[in-house]
Amino acid sequence: MPQSPLLVVMGVSGSGKSTIGAALAQRLGVPFVDADDLHPEANIAKMTRGEALDDGDRRPWLETIGQWLAAHPGGGVVSCSALKRKYRDQLRHHVDALEFLHLQGSREVIARRQASRPGHFMPASLLTSQFATLEQLEPDERGVVIDVDQGVDAIVQQYVDRHAVGTTPQKEN
């Protein structure tokens, strides 16, 4: 495996970002942080009320995430929705060679996963806004797209296999 990446595991709420991110970090031997843990209290309170965050809410949060990435030049994994290109660009402002693993799934699969997470601060009612906000990785963005409707080990292995030969935006089935 080449040098450990600085990686953002991205996708809508319920796609498995935290689970996959933690498993990948363990496999790669690098630190992991769940970006949900970096949200200011005001953001968590807003989402708990069922209100979607706006770009003003996200800007300082993304800065904190970018600073975490920049502080880990030897590699690290962050789970972060990173739904819009401009959010990913803000993170890349801190780290040029940033990679993305987009965990993609149908609304039905994601809704089923969200239903199995009672008590999470992101209510299932915000799923529609998450999908509406999502902008797919563009051809010039370093990353891989992997379907979430499979086991954790299979997703981790697909990423590892992809990273071993390079990271170009491709969908894995």
Do the strands 76-79 and 143-147 form a parallel or antiparallel pair, or are they unpaired?
A: unpaired
The pTM of the full predicted model, rounded to 2 decimals, is 0.86
Q: What is the DSSP string of 14-79?
A: TS-HHHHHHHHHHHHT--EEEGGGGS-HHHHHHHHTTPPP-HHHHHHHHHHHHHHHHT-TT-EEEE
Q: Is the dihedral of CA 151, 157, 160, 164 positive or negative?
A: negative
pLDDT in tens, 45-100: 988 887 878 899 999 999 999 999 999 999 999 999 999 999 999 999 999 889 99
pLDDT in tens, 8-52: 999 998 899 999 999 999 999 999 999 999 999 999 898 888 787
Residue length, the chain? 173
Domain that holds residue 122: 6-172
Within a domain: residue 135? yes
What total number of domains does the chain contain?
1
CATH number for the domain including 56?
A: 3.40.50.300
